[in-house]
């Protein structure tokens, strides 16, 4: 498994924001690393971002996500 970099994570968020990827697809991608027995992610900030991304598809109601688009934009600003 190739270790993701921060730019990979940010690109996934941008794809959600521009509608070319679903939140569920990004969550599934991040979950591969987060749930691995030996995730081999050395960068602590990347690890933190992967944990956030694994929950990007959480809902607070049947038709709304817990993390708003503004939250996703903030994640980009914070980790860029």
Whether 80 shows a pLDDT value over 90: the answer reads: no
- Residue 61: inside a domain, yes or no? yes
Would you call 50 helix, strand, or coil by DSSP? helix
Q: Structurally, how many domains does the chain consist of?
A: 1
User: 27: which 2 tokens?
Assistant: 């969550």
- Residue 40: inside a domain, yes or no? yes
- Residue 45: inside a domain, yes or no? yes
Asked whether the beta carbons of 53 and 33 are under 8 A apart, the reply is no
- Residue 4: inside a domain, yes or no? no
By residue range, what is the domain housing residue 25? Answer: 9-79
Q: What is the 3-state secondary structure (H, E, C) of 3-49?
A: CCCHHHHHHHHHHHHCCCCCHHHHHHHHHHHHCCCCCCCCCHHHHHH
Confidence at residue 60, expressed as pLDDT on a 0 to 100 scale: 95
pLDDT digits (tens, 9 = 90+) for 16-62: 999 999 999 999 999 999 998 888 898 999 999 999 999 999 999 99
Would you call 59 helix, strand, or coil by DSSP? strand
**pTM to 2 decimal places:** 0.92
């Amino acid at each position: 498994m190739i270790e993701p970099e921060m730019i990979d994570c940010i690109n996934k968020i941008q794809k959600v924001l521009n509608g070319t990827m679903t939140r569920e697809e990004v969550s599934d991608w991040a979950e591969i690393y987060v749930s691995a027995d030996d995730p081999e992610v050395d960068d602590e900030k990347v690890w933190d971002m992967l944990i956030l991304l694994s929950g990007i598809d959480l809902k607070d109601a049947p038709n709304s996500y817990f993390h708003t688009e503004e939250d996703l934009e903030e994640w980009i600003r914070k980790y860029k």
